[in-house]
Amino acid sequence: MIETRELSKRYGSFTAVNAISFKVEPGQVLGFLGPNGAGKSTTMKMIAGFLAPTSGRASVAGFDVETQALAARRVLGYLPEGAPSYGEMTVREFMDFMAAMRGLAGDAAERRIDDSVGRLHLEAVLEQPIDTLSKGFKRRVGLAGAILHDPQVLILDEPTDGLDPNQKQEVRSLINSMARDKTIVISTHLLEEVHAVCTRAIIIAGGRLLADATPAELEARSRYHQAVSLSAADVEQAKAALARVADVAAIEVDPQDQRITAFPKPGRQIFVAVSDALKAQNVAVRELALEAGRLDEVFRSITQGAGGKGVRT
């Protein structure tokens, strides 16, 4: 549904997006992850047809976003970063305007507006100018505009930015409910969001694509993958018991909360052996957890060195 090939954007001598290639299939929710300035918004703008690439191509539902721009835009909903333009319009005027832009009229327009307004809970602010709304409401108005024509493909630039935790949860549920029959790309710098909504994640930094994997595959690259963490009344006693487990490679104690983490030797599983060793030594353990891996640590290790910003050539 979405394909980019060697997509690049240069501003003078500065390369903001550097030969990025990927594909997104129907039903996938792709998370675009990267530090500020990585090139996420620029890439999304190019796919959405709002910015011409310097080189490379992008297509949506098989339509080239440059040479078949109208057809590509018809199947696509785009939420730009920040607040919607036309801040002087009321929410109702904005939705009417978006419907007209999409060629919707009469009953069909009314039905689609009611549906989008209902999904984003905008009924109470319909007659308010967008400029007077809170950041969270502005974001929801933008989202309602993006889904108005029930597009097959959604490109959402930081969809939960500015929302409070409850609103974030609601927007994530909305994305999940739409994911079944749409192709969705979201950008985020929130790793919890990747867990909550994404079936796949692409990490970019410095304009380059550095990883393309499922959240679970990324976690598996973490030092914490298959590690066992626990809290014990007697830390020294627990450490001594863990040290007896043959496949434990290292033991660390968090200086803040005294939580102990035992790291396995490569490819080894230690949960059962650790649990048995603690029991055998009568160590009083409050909780014992198997770690999936820490996405934030993987994200840092992948993006560090690549630099947040693009490269000068």
Residues in contact with ligand ADP by CB under 6 A are: 11, 14, 16, 34, 36-42, 309-310
Contacts (Cβ under 8 Å, ≥6 apart) of 287: 230, 231
Beta bridge partners of 187: 32, 157
Minimum CB–partner distance for residue 260 and ligand ADP (Å): 37
User: Residue 16 or residue 194: which is nearer to ligand ADP going by CB?
Assistant: 16
Minimum CB–partner distance for residue 43 and ligand ADP (Å): 7
Minimum CB–partner distance for residue 249 and ligand ADP (Å): 36
Minimum CB–partner distance for residue 312 and ligand ADP (Å): 10
Amino acid at residue number 131: D
SS3 195: helix
Minimum CB–partner distance for residue 198 and ligand ADP (Å): 16
User: Residue 4 or residue 90: which is nearer to ligand ADP going by CB?
Assistant: 4
Nearest to 293 by CA among 219, 195, 190, 230: 219
From residue 14, give the alpha-carbon distance in Å to each of 11, 39, 52, 150, 307: 5, 12, 16, 37, 14
User: Residue 20 or residue 120: which is nearer to ligand ADP going by CB?
Assistant: 20
Q: Report the distance separating Cα 230 and Cα 232, nearest Å.
A: 6
Greatest CA separation found in the chain? Answer: 75
